[in-house]
Amino acid sequence: RKRLVIAVDGPAASGKGTLARRLAAHYGLPYLDTGLLYRMVARAMLDAGHEIRDAEAAALIVNSFDETAFPEERLRGREIGEAASVVAAMPAVRAGLLARQRRFAAQAGGAVLDGRDIGTVICPDAPAKLFVTATPEVRAARRHKELLGRGEAVPFDGILADIRRRDARDSGRNDAPLKAADDAVTLDTSALTVEEAFAAAIGIIEQRR
């Protein structure tokens, strides 16, 4: 079977992770959640006692952190998402994470990667690119539910403010800003169930592979 790379990009809590995971299972491909890499850098910065805006410290950490050191529950919290978007705006951090993402995508059968810049920077030649969106309110409601499930009771308005701030930071940075690649297909999941979003994604991918 032909090699298949699927790039899934989109803003925070758009449903891209859930979708990418399901696509990987469907096609039998390895999956990389690239947001976790930025979250690991942020976690390592905070654990080492660095100010999250310290770009010099981040440039060292990105080349030395231990990818196996962090259980996922230490990476998924509310403050780590915020801290990850701060380090993700640093060119040295993005450069430091580039090679391992490209290596992952280069696996023999292909791969599914999700993030902000997979279709634009990491895998510009991917045949199948999805840009997954939803309204800020729908995304905040999803994140609210997810955090409640983890035992973090945060007011909805606070989460909506987080989402808007993270959108602005991810879209406004100079290096690899969040945006749809020219050849990406946008999938608005605001009114879709997980099942419907998955079916729509399969339809798009099957046309392009």
Which sign, positive or negative, has the C-alpha torsion 149, 161, 7, 173? negative
Query: How big, in percent rounded to 5, are the helix, strand and coil portions of the chain?
Result: 55, 10, 35
Instruction: Please report whether residue 85 would count as binding ligand C5P according to CB under 6 A.
Output: yes
Residue 175 CB partners (closer than 8 Å, separation 6+) = 89, 90, 91, 94
CA 87 to chain centre: 14
Q: Considering only 62-70, 110-118, 137-145, 180-188, which stretch makes contact with ligand C5P by CB under 6 A?
A: 110-118
Instruction: Please report whether residue 116 would count as binding ligand C5P according to CB under 6 A.
Output: yes
Quote the CA–CA distance of 16 and 118 in Å, as a whole number.
12
Least distance from ligand C5P to the Cβ atom of residue 8, Å: 10
Q: Output 75 or 201, the one with its CB closest to ligand C5P.
A: 75
Contact with ligand C5P (CB under 6 A) among 62, 111, 166, 181: 166
Q: Considering only 31-39, 128-136, 154-162, 194-202, which stretch makes contact with ligand C5P by CB under 6 A?
A: 31-39
Q: Considering only 45-53, 113-121, 138-146, 183-191, which stretch makes contact with ligand C5P by CB under 6 A?
A: 113-121
H or E element in which residue 190 lies = none
Q: Output 182 or 206, the one with its CB closest to ligand C5P.
A: 182
Instruction: Please report whether residue 34 would count as binding ligand C5P according to CB under 6 A.
Output: yes
Kindly state the greatest CA–CA separation across the chain. Answer: 49
Please enumerate, by residue number, every residue annotated as part of a binding site for ATP.
Answer: 10-18
Q: Output 35 or 136, the one with its CB closest to ligand C5P.
A: 35
Quote the CA–CA distance of 5 and 129 in Å, as a whole number.
9
DSSP 118: I
Q: Rule CB under 6 A: which residues touch ligand C5P? A: 12, 34-35, 38-39, 81, 84-85, 88, 115-117, 166, 170
